[in-house]
Amino acid sequence: MSIDLLTYLFIGGSFALYIGIAIWARAGSTKEFYVAGGGVHPIANGMATAADWMSAASFISLAGIISFVGRDGSAYLMGWTGGYVMLAMLLAPYLRKFGKFTVPDFVGDRYYSSTARMIAVLCTIVISFTYVAGQMRGVGIVFSRYLHVDVNTGVLLGMAIVFFYAVLGGMKGITYTQVAQYCVLILAFTVPAFFLSAQITGHFLPQIGLGATLGTGQSVLATLDSLSVELGFKAYTDGSKSTIDMVFFTVALMAGTAGLPHVIVRFFTVPRVKDARTSAGWALIFIAILYTSIPGVAGFGRVNLINTINGADNTGTTYTEMPSWFKNWETSGLIGWYDHNGDGKVQYAAGDAFEGSKPAFTEGAGEFGQRLVSNPKMEPAAVNGAPFANEVYVDRDIMVLANPEIANLPAWVIALVAAGAVAAALSTAAGLLLVISTAIAHDMMKKTINPNITDKQELLYARLAAVVSICIAGYFGINPPGFVAQVVALAFGLACASVFPVLLMGIFSKRMNTEGAVTGMLVGLVSTMAYIIYFKFMGGSPDDYFFGISPEGFGTVGMILNFASAFLVSSMTPAPSAEIQAIVENIRIPRGAGQAHAH
């Protein structure tokens, strides 16, 4: 069977499965819609959390990033898993004991203030929308490459599917769909990883394969180091980021992970406090299966990419003899080639091949059939002792998707990867949309604007909000802001600087009051946003970084400012009432979570 037919079958089959589950598990009450009735088994919740968490960024982009930056990419691996340790020990069990539906619920009640609640709602909505835009884009990329439809049609198709199970099923539908999506995405990631690892090293597990010794007598990593240095890149296992920047960036990713509303809300769906801890443990196991495979996939992909493009004799491969994946991705605009030295061969090395790094394609084809570009590098030159000037642009995002093709794996593996990428993007999008609609229907409508609405009306508002959010998300998918990566840094920065500290203080400090919490959230939010906007969108120069901390890592500084200002202000204002202090004491004791649940 052809790859196209197989891809249709795999993606179509998985969609049918998700829709079937959505119909089986549709929600009837607000409690089912928001927290799946609070009765999800910890293992199922762990899988759903893992699918919710592992987005298009984890599935599609992360291995690509590591493949290109080597050790510097470790911050993502540690940050996006280590955050779960903080979540399990510092937040999840206590928030579950508190027994409400949302993060703004906790902030509003614990700090007895609708101002605090509204700031939390604002943070939730900004963080979640930022995220959702990236997911829809991921779906679009996969559809346009594999189904040969327009990116826009792909996004619309994805919207329709998410609409169906998020709006109908609410949290209950999403949870059980995510369990299925986890199974699809983990198979789709590990199967090609096993193949790649076995093919290159003879070991099935990429976790072991990455340390294996090749036929040349060199280990995989040593080979990668020497290949990289030869072509003018830094050695793969060396870092280029400063230690302080690495630390701050990793903290921002960890605390950001622990403070992401769509992840936290998953822990409200289990029956007991004990289960909240256990499901964090399951979630991290399920996440670790993928995350520990990523470095292997990244390394093998890099070796394959360099060897395929530069050829066995390391002089480049004639364009007309390049394998079909190269041309397919060129058609999608994610690979570009300009024959700087006019030898008809494709050569890959360090340095930009195009002015401004990315190719700008024009109409028509060149003498070898390649796409024409309007911005070749003015004075192409070999850099850092590389044997030739770089002639290729390879988008990092294609590594995972192109890997099976580069390695000549069977057609069904390629189809499986496409289905997995779509599952990763859709499961995360659905979780985020639910959080947005809950924030609007529950925290804004019910708790702030009109407390008299009935359960049924609230459910209607939640569904309406989900519909509107899907449309906005779809708009961003079709007209992506040109700065998705920067905006994602903003989402983590905000979660780290605002949501995480306010929750932590609400649990661990009985003395923390409204004034302190509101000041802290605002200080964290404003300082982080200002820093990111100045350096990412207004062209601030990296030379002016505060202590060399990049905008991606500034959320950590925002968090420190948040803590400092919150404690300062609360020490000058009255302590919270005895009832509030009793609430804090109560959430610290596991027993009795069941009764606290209904609201």
Partner 1 sequence: MSLSPEKALAYWRANLRIIWTYLAIWFIASYGCGILFVDQLDTIQFFGFPLGFWFAQQGSIFIFVILIWAYVFSTNRLDEKYDVHE
Chain Cα centroid distance, residue 45:
19
CB-based burial, 146-162: b 16+ in 10 Å, e otherwise: bbeeebeebbbbbbebb
CB of 595 to partner 1, least distance (A): 11
CB of 128 to partner 1, least distance (A): 25
CB of 52 to partner 1, least distance (A): 17
Beta strands 345-346 and 317-318 are antiparallel
123/200 with CB nearer partner 1: 200
CB of 384 to partner 1, least distance (A): 21
Tokens standing for 181?
């999506």
CB of 474 to partner 1, least distance (A): 34
Tokens standing for 242?
């400063």
Beta strands 371-373 and 361-365 are antiparallel
104/299 with CB nearer partner 1: 299
CB of 297 to partner 1, least distance (A): 12
CB of 215 to partner 1, least distance (A): 14
Q: What does the DSSP 8-state code read for residue 271?
A: S
72/339 with CB nearer partner 1: 72
277/446 with CB nearer partner 1: 277
CB of 550 to partner 1, least distance (A): 15
For the chain, how far is it from start to end, CA to CA, in angstroms? 55
Q: How far apart, in Å, are the Cα atoms of 459 and each of 23, 169, 442, 537, 592?
A: 17, 11, 9, 38, 27
Query: Virtual CA dihedral for 11, 14, 19, 24, nearest 10 degrees?
Result: 180
140/506 with CB nearer partner 1: 506
What is the full DSSP assignment across 271-294? Answer: SSHHHHHHHHHHHHHHHHHHHHHH
Tokens standing for 18?
């998700």
Q: Is 346 helix (H, G, I), strand (E, B) or coil?
A: strand
Opening angle at CA 160, ends 154 and 164, nearest 5: 150
**Segment holding 50, helix H or strand E:** helix 42-53
392/593 with CB nearer partner 1: 593
CB of 538 to partner 1, least distance (A): 30
CB of 135 to partner 1, least distance (A): 23
Q: What does the DSSP 8-state code read for residue 204?
A: S
d(CA 551, CA 546): 9
CB of 15 to partner 1, least distance (A): 31
67/519 with CB nearer partner 1: 67
d(CA 42, CA 267): 9
Rounded to 5 degrees, what are φ and ψ at 85?
Answer: -65, -45
Of 209, 279, 202, nearest to 46 by C-alpha is 279
CB of 280 to partner 1, least distance (A): 6
d(CA 478, CA 286): 31
74/113 with CB nearer partner 1: 74
Residues that bind partner 1 (CB under 8 A): 66, 71, 73-74, 77-78, 81-82, 84-86, 88-90, 93, 207-208, 210-213, 219-221, 237, 239, 243, 246-247, 250, 272-274, 277-278, 280-281, 284-285, 288, 291-292, 295, 585-586, 588-594
Q: Which amino acid is at 527?
A: S
Of 462, 525, 442, 458, nearest to 491 by C-alpha is 525
User: In the beta sheet, which residues pair with residue 219?
Assistant: 213
**Helices 273-310, 62-69: inter-axial angle, 10-degree rounding:** 50
Q: Are 117 and 448 in contact (CB under 8 A)?
A: yes
247/383 with CB nearer partner 1: 247
540/590 with CB nearer partner 1: 590
Name every residue whose Cβ is closer than 8 Å to that of residue 592 and which is 6 or more positions away in sequence: 97, 586
80/111 with CB nearer partner 1: 80
d(CA 156, CA 399): 25
311/590 with CB nearer partner 1: 590
